[in-house]
């Protein structure tokens, strides 16, 4: 019986470790994708240099912990509405940024 418990405990620890790893990866990917989206949006808004960095950083800091991806898209869409950028374009760009962020994180591991 001791062996079964040990095997079960090891399996449980493995699942917990994978969950923590996956959560950390998603957190980092979301932060990076928000930053990429922010830099893209800043360019569309005519911001550059520190202003562009500040806009992108705000998307990371203000929208990472307590906001959903929809709320990030809503914020950027509202900011870009006057520039003729549709919400669907922003949502598509966020998906592209997320894929790019995941690829960058994967490349960073190697």
Residue 18 lies in a domain: no
Whichever domain contains 61, its CATH number is: 1.10.790.20
pLDDT value for 1: 46
pTM of the model: 0.81
Cα(58)–Cα(61) distance, integer angstroms:
5
Residue 60 lies in a domain: yes
Q: Which two tokens stand for residue 95?
A: 């998906």
Q: How does DSSP assign 69-90, residue by residue? A: HHHHHHHHHHHHGGGT--HHHH
- Cβ-contact 51, 39 below 8 angstroms: no
Total residues found in the chain within this entry: 110
- Among left, alpha and beta (phi > 0; psi -120 to 50; other), residue 49 is left
Residue 17 lies in a domain: no
Residue 2 lies in a domain: no
The pLDDT profile of the chain, 110 residues, written as one tens digit per residue, is 445 567 877 878 878 878 787 788 888 999 999 999 999 999 999 999 999 999 999 989 886 666 788 999 999 999 999 999 999 999 999 999 999 999 999 898 77
Q: What angle do CA 60, 41, 108 make, to 5 degrees?
A: 50
- Which residues span the domain enclosing 103? 23-109
pLDDT value for 5: 61
pLDDT value for 4: 57
Tally of domains in the chain: 1
Residue 102 lies in a domain: yes
């Amino acid at each position: 019986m001791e062996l079964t418990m040990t095997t079960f405990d090891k399996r449980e620890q493995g699942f917990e470790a994978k969950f923590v790893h996956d959560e950390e990866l998603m957190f980092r990917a979301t932060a990076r994708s928000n930053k990429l989206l922010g830099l893209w949006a800043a360019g569309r808004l005519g911001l550059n240099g520190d202003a562009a960095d500040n806009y992108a950083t705000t998307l990371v800091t203000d929208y990472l912990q307590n906001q959903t991806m929809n709320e990030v898209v809503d914020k950027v869409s509202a900011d870009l509405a006057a520039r003729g950028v549709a919400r669907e374009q922003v949502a598509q760009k966020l998906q592209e940024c997320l894929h790019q962020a995941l690829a960058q994180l994967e490349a960073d591991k190697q």
